Amino acid sequence: MVSVDGVLLSKEAIFDTSSLTGEFKPKYVKQGGEVLSGYILKEGVAEVRATKSYKNSTIYKLIDLIENAALKKSKVEKFMTKFAKIYTPIVVLIAVLMTIIPVFIFKLNPDEWILKSVIFLAVSCPCALVLSIPLTFFNSIGIASKHGILIKGGNYLEGLNNIETIYFDKTGTLSEGAFEIIEIKPFNISEKEFLTKLEMVESLSNHPIAKAICKGCEEQKIDFTYYKEEQGLGIKASVKDKDYMVGSDKFLKLNNINFKEAETIGTKINLVINNEYKGYLVIGDNLKQGAKELVTTLKKDFGKNLIMLSGDNQENVEKVAKELGFDDYYGNLLPDEKLSKIKSKKSMFIGDGVNDAPSIMASSVGLSFSNFSSDITKEASDIVIVSGGLEKIKTLFLIAKHNKKVLTQNIAFVLLVKFLVLIMGSFGYVMIWHAIFADVGVSVLAVINSLKSFKLKEK
């Protein structure tokens, strides 16, 4: 691993940049190119001249962001905390005034008004809310757990209803995060022969794309008369009387090969035999099952603004974002640049890599997946999907929506009953035991209503 930022002195090198960008595709760097701390050399030896000290390097900034991002987190204040700040002082003040004003100003019977004040305090006791609200959260978190979703606090469940913008990482979160053949387009050659020739040429290469192409194919013993791999471009090879070229569009242009360019999402690998273009295949990162449906649901049913933040190149990010229907998108982002894009205070970040941890910690609610997220990312997250995939995000919002509905019902019911009993008590129609019974009875009904959370059904 490269420990400090620098420039490459060697002729060329291939680096794994996933710890910084989250992208599985290796980066080809030429002599004089920038090499960031956190890059991992894929093979061979590379000489790098340091240009920055460790404390000014990229990997140090990432560690610092992870350690301090929580300080920027938007605090989600629990409803009971906000409610108690207003409700309790007002109730106590009214009870005191109910005794002082009639007795000391209007010289009324002190026994009568002290009793009314006590009845007022008994009816106003927030036991129903104190019991039902935590129980509602407890039940909802329990339901989420049964659905394979770990929520680390009731305030995060409550905060989901206030989320306006959801930021998504791309690679590994919305896509599979692995090289796969996603398209094959042979010209004047059968698909089987096209793949056989391509696998033959790629068989000696250690490049991750070559390994993905050759994955599962039978080992071929080929006597190459010529073989040259040009890093970052392609391969030239000769077998008996045939010359082969396998590589990128740029590689073909440099060798004056005529071919049709095509728009693709992924890495295009071309095949040329004896200077005749034979087609291409595309190595890419397939979208996860349910990605399109999730985006549609979050926008249509929950009214969320969706933004994609990725370390992948802007062109790929744009194509994927438009295919899925995102509102906005940004590519070529390092961890600190991702963090700077999170503008909304009512935000949620969904990611899987170490590079996503600062953004997850800084968002109002951060979410990751247990099955394919890094340990650092899961530790930084407020919510972790333990089992299942993207479909669980919809389930999570349904649980949050139901939780809010039950809370609203309980609060409205409790306050309405208490208000009516207080009015009746002020005219002398309520005795102290009636007030206590009304408070306890309301508490029981509110608790029973809270148990409705267990009846939540995923639609």
pLDDT tens sequence across 60-88: 877 776 666 555 554 544 666 677 678 77
Instruction: State whether 184 and 271 are in the same domain.
Output: yes
Q: Kindly tell me if the per-residue pLDDT of 126 is higher than 50.
A: yes
263: buried, middle or exposed (CB in 10 Å: 19+, 13-18, 0-12)? exposed
Query: Rounded to the nearest 5 degrees, what angle is found at the Cα of 63, between the Cα atoms of 60 and 65?
Result: 105
Confidence at residue 235, expressed as pLDDT on a 0 to 100 scale: 92
Instruction: State whether 247 and 375 are in the same domain.
Output: no
Instruction: State whether 50 and 192 are in the same domain.
Output: no
The full DSSP string for 20-89 is HH---S-EEEETT-EE-TT-EE-SS---EEE-S-GGGSHHHHHHHHHHHGGGGPPP---HHHHHHHHHHH
Q: Kindly tell me if the per-residue pLDDT of 267 is higher than 90.
A: no
Note the pLDDT tens digit of each residue in 202-221.
Answer: 888 877 778 778 876 666 67
Instruction: State whether 317 and 379 are in the same domain.
Output: yes
Instruction: State whether 142 and 270 are in the same domain.
Output: no
- Arithmetic mean of pLDDT, 380-384: 91
Q: Of 252, 284, 316, which marks where a domain is finished?
A: 284
**Is 379 inside any structural domain?**
yes
CA 182 → CA 98, 178, 210, 314, distances in Å? 76, 11, 14, 20
Q: Kindly tell me if the per-residue pLDDT of 428 is higher than 80.
A: no
User: Sheet holding 276-284: strands in order across?
Assistant: 180-186, 276-284, 267-273, 242-247, 234-239, 226-230
Domain of 245 in residue numbering reads as: 180-284
Note the pLDDT tens digit of each residue in 171-198.
Answer: 889 988 777 888 899 999 999 999 999 9
**Is 421 inside any structural domain?**
no
Confidence at residue 347, expressed as pLDDT on a 0 to 100 scale: 93
Amino acid at 282: V
Under a CB-based contact definition with an 8 Å cutoff, are residues 48 and 97 in contact?
no
Q: Of 284, 306, 325, which marks where a domain is finished?
A: 284
CATH number, domain containing residue 213: 3.40.1110.10
**Is 65 inside any structural domain?**
no
Structural domain count, the chain = 3
Higher pLDDT, 383 or 85: 383
Confidence at residue 81, expressed as pLDDT on a 0 to 100 scale: 65
Q: Kindly tell me if the per-residue pLDDT of 113 is higher than 60.
A: yes
CATH number, domain containing residue 46: 2.70.150.10
Instruction: State whether 357 and 324 are in the same domain.
Output: yes
**Is 419 inside any structural domain?**
no
Instruction: State whether 245 and 298 are in the same domain.
Output: no
**Is 192 inside any structural domain?**
yes
Confidence at residue 322, expressed as pLDDT on a 0 to 100 scale: 93
With bands split at pLDDT 50, 70 and 90, how would you rate the model's confidence at 17?
Answer: confident
Confidence at residue 348, expressed as pLDDT on a 0 to 100 scale: 96
Instruction: State whether 160 and 197 are in the same domain.
Output: no
Q: Kindly tell me if the per-residue pLDDT of 454 is higher than 60.
A: no
**Is 328 inside any structural domain?**
yes
Instruction: State whether 169 and 295 are in the same domain.
Output: yes
Instruction: State whether 171 and 295 are in the same domain.
Output: yes
Under a CB-based contact definition with an 8 Å cutoff, are residues 57 and 37 in contact?
yes
Under a CB-based contact definition with an 8 Å cutoff, are residues 44 and 71 in contact?
no
Q: What is the pTM of this model?
A: 0.77
The full DSSP string for 251-262 is HHHHTT------
CATH number, domain containing residue 319: 3.40.50.1000
Higher pLDDT, 126 or 278: 278
Instruction: State whether 376 and 228 are in the same domain.
Output: no
**Is 80 inside any structural domain?**
no
CA 396 → CA 138, 140, 148, 354, distances in Å? 15, 10, 10, 23
Least confident interval from 16-25, 116-125, 166-175, 199-208: 16-25
Question: Which listed residue (5, 169, 356, 439) is catalytic?
Answer: 169
Confidence at residue 326, expressed as pLDDT on a 0 to 100 scale: 96
- Arithmetic mean of pLDDT, 325-337: 92
Instruction: State whether 247 and 339 are in the same domain.
Output: no
Confidence at residue 423, expressed as pLDDT on a 0 to 100 scale: 79
Percent of the chain with pLDDT over 70: 92
Mean pLDDT, the chain, rounded, equals 85
- Arithmetic mean of pLDDT, 443-455: 79
**Is 69 inside any structural domain?**
no
Q: Of 345, 370, 396, which marks where a domain is finished?
A: 396
- Arithmetic mean of pLDDT, 115-122: 81
Confidence at residue 74, expressed as pLDDT on a 0 to 100 scale: 47
For the question of residue 241 being annotated catalytic, the response is no
Location of structure tokens 């004003």:
101
Confidence at residue 455, expressed as pLDDT on a 0 to 100 scale: 58
